[in-house]
Amino acid sequence: MLYFVYTARLAPDDLRAVAPSATFEFVAHLAEATLSFSVEGNGWKGGLPTIVPDPGSTVWGAVFSVPDAEADALDRVEETEDRYREETDVIDRSGRRHPVAIHRTTESTGPELVPAPAYLDRMLSGSRHWELPIGWIVGLDDRRNAVV
């Protein structure tokens, strides 16, 4: 399975803990979408991200190959953060579309919450590690700085 990661699982140790055989493939974005920190924190002391439709916006992340045997473990971890698997397409840096699995909240989201600082730190760490676009990293860093 190709898996698009935009959550704390971007941090290599976080993904490895759940899917140890996952291998990085490429950086990509999900068009017409944005992050919403509207998921209750489940112990993270703040809101967690999900993807919501937003014309003209983009969510950046990394795509990994995940063995089927480890996909269920990812589903279980994401479900603890109220996100569920669905299929969609992402676009790589060359403009090619790829079918991937993502996890997002399936119910309509509630009000925007203050993001969980420690969770944002994991997202930032992974975004830097996989060299996501600097504009994306700065945007996450701005959100992190707004909550301290």
For residues 64 and 81, which has the higher predicted lDDT (pLDDT)?
A: 64
- Which has the closest alpha carbon to 139: 110, 127, 148, 64? 127
Q: Look at residue 71 in the predicted model and tell me its pLDDT.
A: 95
Q: Look at residue 40 in the predicted model and tell me its pLDDT.
A: 82
For the segment 14-18, the average pLDDT, to the nearest whole number, is: 96
CATH of the domain at 27: 3.10.490.10
* Model pTM score: 0.93
Q: How many domains does the chain have?
A: 1
Q: List pLDDT tens digits, range 31-53.
A: 999 999 988 877 888 889 999 99
Residue 99's domain comprises 2-146
